[in-house]
Amino acid sequence: MKRVPGAGFWGYVVAGVIVMMVVASAYAAPKSIYDFTLPLLNGKDAPLAEYKGKVVLVVNVASRCGFTPQYTALESIYEKYKDQGFVIIGFPANNFGGQEPGTNDEIAKFCTGKYNVTFPVYGKISVKGDDQHPLYAYLTKDANPTVAGDIKWNFTKFLVDRQGNVVQRFESPVTPDSPEITGAIEAQLKK
């Protein structure tokens, strides 16, 4: 190894510290949903940072669930509010009773064919358990203590403000077009 003139001991120490800081920052805990990139159903990577400045409703979805008809209400509120800076992002998951067994292609055909879904739907992930996706680990553990806790079932919804902060959680039985959710969306859109 060639000696760098003038580097000396402290030069190597400083260089080592800089390398450690760069490596540590690569593994830093996420600060918002914007820190995640996941593939859409078509396999194309789509960073959640694309939604900066928008109000976002994050929903774990499934095609064979008693709550699956909520796709209709999800699409309805997406159409109603999308021009005001609102987006829904769906995450198919097969964690509950095998209710999302399909491939990403099958899920895409189901969403568009049966429910005419136009909001972004990402590739299938796990929302709980040992194989929980880091996005859902963040949503259920780190994002906001008031919304923390394991996902109990399909169609759990997280409302995210324009700065990427998770501000509310709605459990499966709360329908997307309920006054509780639409009121919360409208309140965030006014901010």
Per-residue model confidence as pLDDT tens digits over 27-74: 567 789 999 999 999 999 999 999 999 999 999 999 999 999 999 999
DSSP assignment string, the chain: -PPPTTTHHHHHHHHHHHHHHHHHHHTPPP-SGGG-EEEBTTS-EEEGGGGTTSEEEEEEE-SSSTTTTHHHHHHHHHHHHGGGTEEEEEEEB--STT---S-HHHHHHHHHHHH---S-BBPPB--SSTT--HHHHIIIIIS-GGG-S---STT-EEEE-TTS-EEEEE-TTS-TTSHHHHHHHHHHHT-
* Gap between the Cα atoms of 2 and 68, Å rounded: 65
| Whole-number average pLDDT of the chain | 90
pLDDT digits 0-9 by tens, 141-170: 999 999 999 999 999 999 999 999 999 999
The amino acid sitting at 57 is L
Largest CA distance in the chain: 71
Catalytic site residue 111? no
Q: What is the pLDDT of residue 141?
A: 95
Domain ranges of the chain: 33-189
- Mean pLDDT to the nearest integer, 133-142: 96
pLDDT-above-70 percentage for the chain: 85
Q: What is the pLDDT of residue 92?
A: 98
Q: What is the pLDDT of residue 28?
A: 60
Given 35, 38, 52, 65, the catalytic residue: 65
Phi, psi of 180 (to 5 degrees): -60, -45
Range name among 19-33, 51-65, 83-97 with the lowest pLDDT average: 19-33
> Which among 36, 59, 60 is positioned nearest to 185, based on CA atoms?
59
Residue 14 predicted with pLDDT over 80? no
Residue 106 predicted with pLDDT over 80? yes
Domain with residues 33-189, CATH architecture: 3-Layer(aba) Sandwich (3.40)
Q: What is the pLDDT of residue 24?
A: 45
> Which among 57, 50, 49, 121 is positioned nearest to 87, based on CA atoms?
57
Q: What is the pLDDT of residue 30?
A: 73
